Chain A
Amino acid sequence: MESFDYLFFIEVLTGGLLSGVMYSLVAIGFVLIYKTSGVLNFAQGALLLFAALTFVSLVERGMPFYLALVLTFAIMVLLGIGIERAVLRPLVNKPPITLFMATLGLSYVVEGTAQLLWGTQVHALELGIEDVPFEFYGVFISQFDLFASAVAALMVIGLTLFFRYTRIGLTFRAVADDQFAALAVGLRLPRIWATVWATSGLVALVAGLLWGARSGVQFSLSLVVLKALPVLVLGGFDSIAGAIIGGLLIGASEKLAEVYIGEYFGGGIEGWFAYAIALVFLLIRPSGLFGQKLVERV
């Protein structure tokens, strides 16, 4: 390599960071549920698909944008409450891995239902943001990605404020800290869990709309969970900050690797490269960047 093209490097890096934000967006939905109920919700991707598909189908049937948004949100809240009732409540006190497998089954149910209701064809989703790159000191940046990061940032700020300054947020934190103590002081766990699931339905809706606008609303949307999992592993399952920093790290290194070392592998390495980073990192720090350290007791 005679001369290293810094401008190009920065462009790739920015692109990677911005797509990392998209991963974080999905990962935050996982963290919300994991923090408060200890469930790794594999169905988050399916929920995302469900939200985006419902919204698009409503709009295509002539419903105004904002009405469709509100209605989809209402549906997601109901769905979240329903899931808590039907799936999680009967499984209270089961080992975490059992709950994980239940959400695996749940993702099948939700994906199937979404596509049975709305069909399997690809829908285009128009959010009214043009996807034209603009130049910034010689670096091209995608306008859409920038918008997505702004939304993600707003959501994170909103969630942080919500967790810190509202009464419900306080109960969330109490439950996350110690379920048993929360129960003992009279918090109603089922109701709190239902609220958490509804909140993660909202996150799924936002992430679903952004991802859907980017790559079309179709079945493969539910596969973004597979992108979010290494982010979670890297950042720790129970840290929102971890989800964001993990997303940025994964997004950036994935893009850089694809551009600079991908050719030595024949390309197409983004499918597993994120997992490789996460694994190498975990071998050094087994609980992720910000995850709580597990204390072993016999």
Chain B
Amino acid sequence: MAAITSQPVVSVKFPGWIAPLVILVFAFGIVPFIGSSYLIEALLLPFLALSLAGVGLNLLTGYAGQVSLGSAAFMAVGAFAAFNFNLRVEGLPLLVSIALAGGIAAAVGIVFGLPSLRLRGFYLAVSTLAAQFFVQWALTKFGWFSNDNPSGVIDAPKLTIAGIDFDSSTGRYYFALIVVTALTLFAWRVASSQTGRNFIAIRDNETAARIIGVPVLRTKLLAFALSSFIIGVAGALWAFAYLRTVEPAGFNLDRSFQILFIVIIGGLATIRGAFLGAALMVVFPVVLSRLGSFLLGDLFDSGVLDMSQRIVIGALIIAFLILEPDGLAALGRRLTGRFKRSMPEPVG
């Protein structure tokens, strides 16, 4: 994965924190008042959960260079663990259950990250599939995880933090937004710390990293743990804030690929890439279905939509890998870069 550049870009005229701050103010202060409940429930909530999952996977794949095809498994672990903490531990605040669920996901992540100590590249990517199949099997097979629901379905509890009710669509939006903001900040701190640089060193050249004194084994497991923690919390958000009822089959291999695609399309080793990629993944099917029924009318039924969606997403992946391997983030950087050409290239 030598072709990946690292950022973040530091602009001279605008300090780096201005743009995120503007977006945050907009997201917290303006969106809930102008957004319809359709916009929030069908677009923004999945967008937030998937973005967070993308941020998590990016730590592992983008920064530390370990390709994982089992992200949905860690989402499932997060969702089901949060459900069980909330159900079985009396009086545990919701945010604490979600954090603990992230911890469980991290532990599971470490277990499935163990092969990374000996395996590289394809062999590792294939071995992460084990996580995908094992977790999905275990959650369906053992009724305890879903409180003995016959089809393994779990229902979200009431969302309350410190007595405030977050159950309305705006409430769930705020709930998700707060969690996503906090964890994104955390991921950004990790990525720009010594740990993040260790990740990059391992990605770029493991042997060299070992020589300059990076504790390779520990760092790899740390990458798996942090990434799974974030993905697990994203899974809890997906279950509690967005869908409200989920079953293990909802976290299948296609979901894992979707998250990987978000990271590729958005841009590896960038925080904002995950958000750009997730936005594309969420908005694009809606646009496609509108466009399809507008152009083709009745011919464009849900089956055709499904298939053409697959085709376009696959084609997009290929196109991005060929034309813009650094993803939407790099595309955006290049567009804004036109206005500040005098500045030197940012170094990571």
Contacts and interface: CB of A to CB of B under 8 A. Distances in A.
A236 to B, nearest CB: 10
Interface string A106-138: 111111110110001000000000000000000
Contact of B119 (A282, A297, A298): A282
A55 to B, nearest CB: 19
Interface stretch (B26-34, B44-52, B205-213): B205-213
Would you call the interface of chain B mostly helix, strand, loop, or mixed? helix
Contact of B308 (A110, A112, A282): A112
A50 interface: no
A82 interface: no
A108 B314 contact: yes
29 contacts: A40-B122, A90-B322, A95-B1, A97-B67, A98-B325, A102-B317, A104-B314, A105-B314, A106-B314, A108-B311, A108-B313, A109-B310, A112-B314, A116-B308, A229-B126, A265-B141, A268-B137, A271-B133, A275-B129, A275-B134, A278-B126, A279-B127, A279-B130, A282-B119, A286-B118, A286-B119, A298-B205, A298-B207, A298-B211
B315 A105 contact: yes
A120 B118 CA distance: 41
A139 to B, nearest CB: 30
A269 interface: yes
A233 B317 CA distance: 25
A212 interface: no
Interface residues of B, number: 47
A80 interface: no
Given A108-B314, A111-B310, A95 B130 contact: no
B142 A104 contact: no
A162 interface: no
A233 B311 contact: no
Give the residue among B2, B3, B115, B322 with the most A Cβ atoms within 10 A: B322
Interface in B98-141: 115, 118-123, 125-127, 129-130, 133-134, 136-137, 141
A276 interface: yes
A282 B118 contact: yes
Give the residue among A94, A95, A272, A278 with the most B Cβ atoms within 10 A: A272
Give the residue among B126, B205, B315 with the most A Cβ atoms within 10 A: B126
A237 B207 contact: no
B304 interface: yes
Contacts of A226: 129, 133, 253
A87 B316 CA distance: 12
Contacts of B1: 95, 97-98
Given A100-B122, A272-B137, A105 B316 contact: yes
Contact of A282 (B2, B3, B123): B123
Contact of B318 (A97, A109, A233, A286): A109
Q: When A and B form their complex, which 4 residue pairs have the shortest distance between CB atoms, in order from nearest?
A: A108-B314, A105-B317, A112-B310, A275-B130
Contacts of B119: 282, 286
B257 interface: yes
Give the residue among A106, A109, A266 with the most B Cβ atoms within 10 A: A109
A1 interface: no
A276 B318 contact: no
A185 interface: no
A282 B127 CA distance: 10
Nearest to A226: B129
Interface residues of A, number: 52
A230 B129 CA distance: 9
Contacts of A269: 137
Contacts of A266: 141-142
A108 B253 CA distance: 13
Given A90-B322, A96-B121, A109-B315, 15 more contacts: A91-B322, A96-B122, A97-B121, A108-B311, A112-B311, A229-B126, A233-B123, A233-B126, A271-B133, A272-B130, A275-B134, A283-B118, A286-B119, A286-B123, A296-B207
B314 A107 contact: yes
A194 interface: no
A106 B2 CA distance: 22
A271 B252 CA distance: 13
A109 B260 CA distance: 16
Given A95-B2, A282-B118, A298-B207, A102 B141 contact: no
A162 to B, nearest CB: 25
A234 to B, nearest CB: 10
Interface in B67-98: 67
B321 interface: yes
A232 interface: yes
A239 B142 CA distance: 39
Contacts of A230: 126
A106 B126 contact: no
A102 B126 contact: no
Contacts of A96: 121-122
Contact of B317 (A104, A232, A286): A104
B313 A105 contact: yes
Interface in B301-327: 303-304, 307-311, 313-318, 321-322, 325
A95 B321 CA distance: 11
Nearest to A265: B141
Given A282-B118, A283-B118, A296-B207, A116 B129 contact: no
Interface in A133-147: none
Given A116-B308, A266-B141, A278 B318 contact: no
Interface string B157-190: 0000000000000000000000000000000000
Nearest to B309: A112
A173 B307 CA distance: 38
Contact of B137 (A271, A288, A297): A271
A286 B126 CA distance: 13
A233 B321 contact: no
